[in-house]
Amino acid sequence: MFKVIEPGKVGVQTLFGKVQDHVLESGLHIINPIVDVTTFDIQTQTYTMSAVSNEGQKEGDDAIRVLSSDGLEDRR
């Protein structure tokens, strides 16, 4: 069986629920027909988080709230 892995992706093979050690890089591969191949996107993606409610792809405030060293809330 032939499997094509697109550029920017990798393929992970599983056989009867067990993940195989060999990762399929982009290109054409000959694999066992009973092996399942799951592709994953490995391209770098950017996501901007903001406290401004109408900025970016997500509606609303998606900023992360963390505690500073003195125990006060800080928005990042």
From CA 36, how far away is CA 31, in angstroms rounded? 9
**Residue 62: what pLDDT?**
63
**Is-contact 51 63, C-beta < 8 A?**
yes
In this prediction, residue 49 has a pLDDT band, given cuts at 50, 70 and 90, of low
Digit-coded pLDDT (tens) for 5-43: 999 999 999 999 999 999 999 999 999 999 999 999 999
From CA 41, how far away is CA 23, in angstroms rounded? 13
The model's pTM is 0.59
3 has a pLDDT exceeding 70 = yes
